[in-house]
Amino acid sequence: MELAQVVGTVVSTAKDAKLNGKKLLLVNIIEADQTPTKTHVVAVDTVGAGVGEVVIIVRGSSARQAGNLSSVPTDTSIIAIIDSIEKEGKLLFQKSKRK
């Protein structure tokens, strides 16, 4: 599992039929302190995430175990929206106090 921030949406009218009805979001992998990386991936959203939210993503075969994605051609899925991140007793992120 990895932390990421939703930075955009992806719209595609021509795609594999198994992706029809699936929301695709552009996410940027982030560090625990929300420092962005230069790694962006497209993820299938299984939890109703929106732009700006901090989420947990899974990649590889784990991505198809979320929701009803067992036959969907994806290798990245959003599986959770983060409420808070605490590291070594220090609050690094709280959704209600977003930067």
CATH label of the domain that carries residue 18: 2.40.50.220
Q: Is the whole model's pTM more than 0.85, yes or no?
A: yes
Output the furthest CA–CA distance in the chain (Å, rounded).
47
pLDDT given for residue 99 in this prediction: 53
Q: Which of 47, 81, 93 is nearest to 67 (CA)?
A: 47
* pLDDT, one tens digit for every residue, the chain (99 residues): 999 999 999 999 999 999 999 999 999 999 998 999 999 999 999 999 999 999 999 998 888 888 778 888 999 999 999 999 999 999 999 998 765
For residue 20, tell me if it sits in a domain. Answer: yes
Distance of CA 90 to the CA centre of its chain: 24
For residue 94, tell me if it sits in a domain. Answer: no
For residue 30, tell me if it sits in a domain. Answer: yes
For residue 98, tell me if it sits in a domain. Answer: no
For residue 54, tell me if it sits in a domain. Answer: yes
For residue 65, tell me if it sits in a domain. Answer: yes
pLDDT given for residue 69 in this prediction: 84
Number of domains in the chain: 1
For residue 28, tell me if it sits in a domain. Answer: yes
For residue 95, tell me if it sits in a domain. Answer: no
Contact 77, 67 (CB under 8 A): yes
Range of the domain at 49: 2-83
pLDDT given for residue 96 in this prediction: 86
**Strand ranges inside the chain, DSSP E:** 2-10, 24-30, 36-45, 54-59, 76-81, 84-87, 90-94
pLDDT tens, residue by residue, 6-26: 999 999 999 999 999 999 999
Q: Could you tell me whether strands 24-30 and 2-10 are parallel, antiparallel, or unpaired per DSSP bridges?
A: antiparallel
